[in-house]
Amino acid sequence: MTPRLVLATRNAHKVVELRAILAETGLDVELVGADTYPDIPDVKETGVTFAENALLKARTLADATGLPAVADDSGLCVDVLGGAPGIFSARWAGTHGDDAANLALLLAQLGDIDDPHRAAHFACAAALALPGGTERVAEGRLRGTLRRIPTGTNGFGYDPILQPDGDTRTCAELSPDEKNAISHRGKAFRALAASVAELVR
């Protein structure tokens, strides 16, 4: 029987992305989103690092379902802003998950920053929590430069403004396969896959 792994998100984009990433690693698991368990409340992200927030979400879901759970916390870290928005990326403009407002605010804040100083990176911490208390965390980064105008329709969040180093396109102009191959989330979950293969049976 294929073991079930619960993903601590109700974001359909993330579920699709992580299914693709984990399938590439050859893991034989059934990956389901948190919406499979609608009675479980959303977790307050009270940690001060991506790793702390990822563990909070994975731990809560593992305890509530009795199943192994994976979670991630990720965001955009802008060098000239000292790493902000960071853990506040999804609610930078005040409302959680308002991608358009978050993008508009960030671009306005960086309006007078010259191109050579617009370096940034996406960061991701991926966590695995088992009901018995075993936990693992892996991290990944994708460095790039921030564009002045959002470009591309693939992806979500800040994808339309981050141009990965070595490319001429934004993350939102990459195909899903291209993005997964280099993304912060792809790197983190590929690193976590070894722990999933070892611990989830």
- 4-63: pLDDT as tens digits: 899 988 777 778 878 888 787 888 888 888 888 888 878 888 999 999 999 999 999 999
Q: For 133-155, what is each residue's pLDDT tens digit?
A: 999 999 999 999 999 999 999 98
- What's the CATH number where 86 sits? 3.90.950.10
The distance in angstroms from the start CA to the end CA of the chain is 9
- Look at residue 136 and give its three-state secondary structure: strand
Which residue in 28, 73, 115, 177 is the catalytic one? 73
Would you call 165 a catalytic residue per the annotation? no
In total, how many domains does the chain have?
1
Write the pLDDT tens digit of every residue in 73-111: 999 999 999 999 999 999 999 988 799 999 999 999 999
Task: Give the helix ranges, DSSP H, for 66-175.
Answer: 99-109
**pLDDT tens digits for 56-82?**
999 999 999 999 999 999 999 999 999
pTM for this prediction:
0.90
Give the integer Cα–Cα distance in Å for 60 and 62: 6
User: What's the domain range around 119?
Assistant: 4-199
Query: What pLDDT is recorded for position 36?
Result: 87
**Among 164, 197, 196, which Cα is nearest to 180's?**
164
